[in-house]
Amino acid sequence: MEKNGLTLEARNDGRLRVDKDQNDDASMGSAEAKCVDLLPDVASAAPAPGAFVAKVRKFSACVRENGFSEYPDPDPTTGDVDVSGHQAEKFKTPEFALTAKKCSRAWTPARSSSSTPTP
């Protein structure tokens, strides 16, 4: 993210995060779109709690309602969203990153930080 022009800050645990006070939404959306390939593969994910899967379904519906009609529903067991193949490029744009951010504000996942839905 820093290589794509964002200012980072250290959390209390020493890990870095994007400083939302120092970066605008457009810059964050652009950097997120450029870094999406660096997200870890969650192919071997454990089953997700039903409430989490329901929240990811709502996220997917929100994304579709906001201009990305081909965005898929999550896997009913893991909650993972598969946006690979020919669709992947559509979801690596700053426009998608902004839509994902907007739709993410509507919910907070109940899973650990190591397993998040892949927009």
**The pair of three-digit structure tokens given for residue 93, joined into one six-digit string:** 């744009």
Angle at 114 between CA 108 and CA 119, to 5 degrees: 60
What pLDDT does 45 receive? 55
Is residue 43 predicted with pLDDT exceeding 60?
no
What pLDDT does 87 receive? 74
Does the pTM exceed 0.85? no
pLDDT band for position 49 (cuts 50, 70, 90):
confident
pLDDT band for position 41 (cuts 50, 70, 90):
low
Q: What is the C-alpha to C-alpha distance for residues 91 and 33, in angstroms, rounded to an integer?
A: 8
What pLDDT does 32 receive? 80
Question: Contact, 97 vs 32, CB < 8 A?
Answer: yes
- Residue with more model confidence, 31 or 112: 31
Q: What is the C-alpha to C-alpha distance for residues 77 and 102, in angstroms, rounded to an integer?
A: 25
Alpha-carbon dihedral of residues 103, 109, 114, 118, nearest 10 degrees?
-30
**pLDDT per residue as tens digits for the range 70-119:** 899 988 888 888 887 777 788 888 999 899 888 887 655 444 444 444 45
Residue 10's φ and ψ, nearest 5 degrees, are: -85, 135
